[in-house]
Amino acid sequence: MDRKALWEKAAAFHGHVCPGLTIGFRAALYAIDLLGITFSEDEQLVCITENDACGVDAIQAVLGCSIGKGNLLFHMTGKQAFSFYNRKTGKSVRLVLRKPAREMSREETLKYYTDCKQEDMFDVKETKLEVPEHARIFESYTCECCGESTGANWIRIFEGKKLCTDCYKKYDRFNV
């Protein structure tokens, strides 16, 4: 798919064009260049994003990383930073957005992020986190309080009953 078609796909997925979408779009393209990756049909590509902003939608649309497939994970630091992992080659890269040299309006920011070189837009760093394991499928249990089905990894035992995390009252002697 050509760049224009990818941009249109990302914008349609996100619902509008904005500087944040452009950040994720450019990060996805840069990751393609640096790691030789393509759209991820399964979990061969993983993205760990450090924010939950507009750019994440572009990464989903362009690279096929998604929460449902288990190859889009959030490591919330509030940074415009994205780590990409190619499971086939073992290569990875962390792209961190550079702050523009001056304050700009929304329109100027959009134009700047659209037109600048990717090398000027992102610092390329080594990934900080190990590539996550493949997504697991867990057995489900019924919460004995609310009756809703919950994955085994989210069940807590309290007074002999299986409870979901919504029904379980955390025990913490320091925050009583």
User: Mean pLDDT, to the nearest integer, of 148-156?
Assistant: 95
Is pLDDT of 172 > 90? no
Q: How far apart are CA 21 and CA 3, in angstroms?
A: 14
Question: How confident is residue 101, by pLDDT bands cut at 50, 70 and 90?
Answer: confident
Helices (H), 51-92: 55-63
Share of the chain residues as helix, strand and coil, in percent rounded to the nearest 5: 30, 20, 50
SS3 call for 143: coil
Is pLDDT of 72 > 70? yes
Angle at 33 between CA 28 and CA 39, to 5 degrees: 50
- At 126 the pLDDT is 97
Residue whose C-alpha is closest to residue 55's, from 22, 32, 84, 31: 22
Q: How far apart are CA 1 and CA 165, in angstroms?
A: 43
Question: How confident is residue 171, by pLDDT bands cut at 50, 70 and 90?
Answer: confident
Which H/E stretch holds residue 96?
strand 92-97
Here the tokens at position 10 are 């990302």
Structural domains of the chain, with CATH: 3-125 (3.30.1330.130), 136-176 (3.30.60)
Is pLDDT of 81 > 90? yes
**pTM of the complete model:** 0.86
Q: Which one is predicted more confidently, 60 or 136?
A: 60
